[in-house]
Each structure stands twice: as C-alpha cells, then as structure tokens.
C-alpha cells in the first residue's frame, strides 16, 4: 500500500503516536546497557512505520535507523526529521556488515511476513548483531482469544498469528544465546483482579507479546541483562483461566456452605417442633386447639353452641381454673389468637344461660376449703349438669 490508507488505518486502530511511544518505553531497560557498551553502534528498526520507536530511542541519545517499504507511513517520520529510508526490510538487513548493530527491532512486522522471510530475518539479525546484541520482535498475541480470532484479522496485510512458542523457538534454533517472552499491554484492572469474569478470560490476556533474543557475549556483558531476562512480564491465558476457575469454585463453595447452614437451621426447627409435639403441655392443650380450629373464621353473632359443646366449655373452664400453670399456658396459646379468644369468652359468658346457682353456704363441707370463686364455678357447673340432664331427659 503506497498511499496514505495504511497510515490512516494505523492511527485509527493501533492507537495514537503518544500511546505507542508510552508502550515502547518498556524496552529501554534492555537497550540502555548496550548503549553503554557500544556507544556509537546504531539500532536498526525494521518496518519502522510512523517512527515511534525511533523517536523514543533518539530521545535517549542512541543512534538509530529506520527502514519501511510504505511511503505513506514514512511521511510521519519525515515530518519530524527522523533518519529513515524506504525499502525492503529483509533486503536492507541482509546488506549490512557482520557485528555492526547493537539492536535489531521489528515491531508488528513479523505477522506481515511469509515464514521463510521470518526465518531469514532471524538468521540475518544474528549475523549483523554485535556480541550481546538484541533482536526484538513484537507481534499480536494469539493467546488472547479475542485478538487471535478477531482483532488480528482487522489488518488486511496480516498473514497469520504467530504463537509465542514458535517465535521464541526460531532464535534458539539459529543460535541466539537466550530468549525471553514479554507479554504486554494487558489492563491493569484485569491483571490485579483475582476474580475475573468470563469476558476477562476471553479478552483480558496480554494483547501483544515480544520475543527478545540475545546473541552470545562475554559473561561481563551478559550479566548486565540477567535480571531483565529472569523477570516475568504480563500473564498467560492459563493464569487468567486458573483465577476464573478458582473464583467459580469459591462461589460454589459459598453457595454450598449457605445451603448447609439452611439445612442445619431446618433440622433444628424440625427437632424443636418434634420436642413440642411430644411435650406434656402440647397434649394437654389438644382440646383447646381443637376448639380454636373449629370456631376459627366464624363470626361471633353466628355462633350457636350445642348444649354438649357448652357443657364441654364449662368443664374445661373449671378444669383449667383449678390449675394455675395450665391456665397460664392456655392464655399463652389464646393470646396468639385475640379474635378467637374474645369469641370464646363471649361464647362461655355471653351466650351461657343464666341459672340459679347454689348458695355458697350449701356447698358440701369437703369443698369448703375452696376459694369463693372456685365454689361459684362448682355451683355453676352443678347447675349446668342438672340442666343437661333435664334437656336430655
């Protein structure tokens, strides 16, 4: 593409110039030690594009040269006076002398190349690099599922995604001393999130990665980079998926714990209910519960008690009145049903036929120890029994 289409495409979909420069700053710790060792040796940037990397390293006082075949992309470099040439990157690399460069970089270039061209790039980079020199290749990370299945193909000049295992193997095969995979540009929020969502797993892995390969050199030079090559950068799909699995397992365990707690409470309630049903007070109060269930929902004016039921109520009243503890428990039950309690009181007192009660002095002497109220109840009960006999002849 010789026109400005690709430059406009990059500006729309790759990011602004300032954004790309901020991302590329991650490589400066690798470049600076080489500059101290080889102060006048240049950095070669293959497929330099708009020249963001050239601008970054030039700002550090490091000599650099860029090469790109797209005249439209180079226009951005010309505008700010960066040292670039138009041409084929592989051909330009192959024209350089042995041991002439400190660094060969290729940012988002390798995915545009045929595999044989990529092999040539790696082998020629090894030849032209000085001892301890670095080959840097950055490319979209297909380990990120969204990148590997969708975003990668947004660029019409891309060939195919390159897994990091393949790209890191090439320098090893051609004789580089060591390689390092850097995963980059992942969201800080996702990187620090221990409970990622499924969407995070699909699109949260580092969207770009780079392979940095170093040529053999003396131990003194290699030691300058030991810490950099031992550090881990970004995180893998396995790491993010493991966090997701752990979060799901934790939520499932919490749900199971809550279910077990609910089951324990239900078992406690069942045990308590069983204890109540087997208690003496529950059995004693059975008649009262039967009566309450019989009259529940019936309006007081419509109550027409049969003589047998009236007699039962009078017996129950006398029986409960002689037992304070039972009276207390009965009131506890009836207080839970105030409407029924008031109807029961009216049924016992309001609808009861008034009869001539036995005078207190006529109460048998063996009941003389009772209280006046109890003797009155006894008299009422006796009268009710006599009335019952008369009615049922």
Tokens standing for residue 249: 């397992």
Is 48 in the same domain as 149? yes
pLDDT by residue, tens only, the chain of 393 residues: 556 776 677 667 677 889 999 999 999 999 999 999 998 889 999 999 999 999 999 999 999 999 999 988 899 999 999 999 999 999 999 999 999 999 999 999 999 999 999 999 999 999 999 999 999 999 999 999 999 888 888 888 899 999 999 999 999 999 999 999 999 888 888 877 888 888 888 888 889 999 999 999 999 999 999 999 999 888 788 888 888 888 888 888 888 888 888 888 888 888 887 777 777 766 666 665 665 565 555 454 444 445 666 667 777 777 777 777 777 777 777 777 777 777 777 666 654 444 444 444 455 666 666 677 777 777 788 888 888 788 876
Last residue of a domain, one of 278, 304, 334: 278
Last residue of a domain, one of 278, 312, 337: 278
Is 324 in the same domain as 183? no
Is 118 in the same domain as 139? yes
Rounded distance between C-alpha atoms, residue 198 and residue 201, angstroms: 5
Is 263 in the same domain as 121? no
Rounded distance between C-alpha atoms, residue 34 and residue 103, angstroms: 8
For residue 337, what are the domain limits?
Answer: 280-391
Is 56 in the same domain as 103? yes
Last residue of a domain, one of 178, 201, 234: 234
Structural domains counted in the chain: 3
Rounded distance between C-alpha atoms, residue 356 and residue 359, angstroms: 9
Is 53 in the same domain as 181? yes
Is 83 in the same domain as 9? yes
What integer pLDDT is reported at residue 284 of this predicted model? Answer: 62
Rounded distance between C-alpha atoms, residue 245 and residue 71, angstroms: 49
Is 268 in the same domain as 293? no
Is residue 380 within 8 A of residue 358, CB to CB? The reply is no
Is residue 30 within 8 A of residue 228, CB to CB? The reply is yes
For the CA atoms of 301, 303, 305, 310, the dihedral, rounded to the nearest 10 degrees, stands at -70
Question: pTM for this structure?
Answer: 0.64
Tell me which residue of 10, 43, 13 sits closest to 27, measured CA to CA. Answer: 43
Is 169 in the same domain as 303? no
Is 140 in the same domain as 45? yes
Is 354 in the same domain as 304? yes
CATH code of the domain containing 150? 3.40.50.150
Burial environment of residue 344 by CB neighbours within 10 A (0 to 12, 13 to 18, 19 or more): buried
Is 28 in the same domain as 134? yes
Query: HEC states along the chain?
Result: CCCCHHHHHHHHHCCCHHHHHHHHHHHHHHHHHHHHHCCCCCEEEECCCCCHHHHHHHCCCCCEEEEECCHHHHHHHHHCCCCEEECCHHHHHHCCCCCCEEEEEEECCHHHCCHHHHHHHHHHHHHHEEEEEEEEEEEECCCCHHHHHCHHHHCCCCCCCCCHHHHHHHHHHHCCCEEEEEEECCCHHHHCCCCCCHHHHHHCCCCEEEEEEECCCCHHHHHHHHHHHHCCCCCCHHHHHHHHHHHHHHHHHHHHHHHHHHHHHHHHHHHHHHHHHCCHHHHHCHHHHHHHHHHCCCCHHHCCCCHHHHHHHHHHHHHHHCCHHHHHHHHHHHHCCHHHHHHHHHHHHHCCCCCCCCCHHHCCHHHCCCCHHHHHHHHHHHHHHHHHHHHCC
């Amino acid at each position: 593409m010789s026109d400005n289409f690709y430059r406009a495409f990059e500006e729309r979909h790759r990011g602004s110039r300032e954004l790309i420069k901020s991302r590329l700053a991650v490589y400066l710790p690798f470049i600076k030690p080489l500059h101290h060792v080889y102060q006048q040796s240049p950095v070669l940037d293959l497929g330099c594009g708009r020249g963001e990397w050239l601008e970054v390293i030039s700002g550090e006082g490091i000599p650099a040269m860029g090469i790109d075949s797209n005249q439209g992309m180079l226009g951005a470099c010309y505008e700010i006076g960066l040292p670039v040439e138009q041409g084929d990157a592989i051909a330009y690399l192959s024209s350089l002398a042995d041991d002439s460069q400190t660094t060969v970089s290729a940012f988002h270039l390798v995915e545009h190349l045929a595999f044989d061209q990529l092999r040539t790039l790696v082998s020629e980079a090894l030849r032209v690099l000085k001892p301890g020199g670095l080959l840097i290749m950055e490319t979209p990370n297909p380990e990120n599922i969204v990148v590997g299945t969708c975003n990668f193909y947004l660029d019409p000049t891309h060939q195919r995604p390159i897994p990091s295992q393949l790209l890191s193997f090439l320098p090893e095969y051609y004789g580089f001393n060591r390689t390092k995979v850097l995963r980059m540009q992942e969201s800080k929020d996702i990187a620090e999130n221990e409970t990622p969502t499924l969407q995070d797993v699909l699109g949260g892995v580092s969207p770009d990665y780079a392979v940095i390969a170093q040529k053999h050199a003396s131990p003194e030079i290699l030691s300058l980079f030991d810490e950099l090559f031992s550090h881990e950068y970004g995180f893998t799909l396995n790491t993010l998926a493991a966090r997701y699995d752990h979060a799901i397992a934790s939520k499932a365990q919490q749900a199971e714990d809550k279910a077990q707690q609910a089951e324990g409470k239900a078992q406690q309630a069942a045990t308590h209910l069983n204890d109540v049903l087997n208690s003496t007070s529950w059995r004693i109060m059975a008649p009262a519960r039967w009566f309450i269930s019989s009259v529940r929902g019936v309006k007081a004016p419509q109550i027409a008690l049969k003589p047998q039921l009236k007699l039962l109520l009078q017996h129950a009243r006398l029986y409960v009145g002689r037992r304070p503890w039972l009276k207390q428990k009965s009131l506890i039950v009836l207080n839970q049903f105030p409407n029924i309690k008031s109807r029961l009181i009216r049924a016992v007192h309001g609808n009861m036929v008034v009869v001539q009660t036995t005078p207190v002095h006529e109460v048998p002497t063996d009941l003389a120890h009772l209280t006046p109220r109890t003797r009155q109840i006894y008299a009422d009960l006796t009268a009710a029994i006599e009335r019952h006999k008369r009615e049922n002849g």
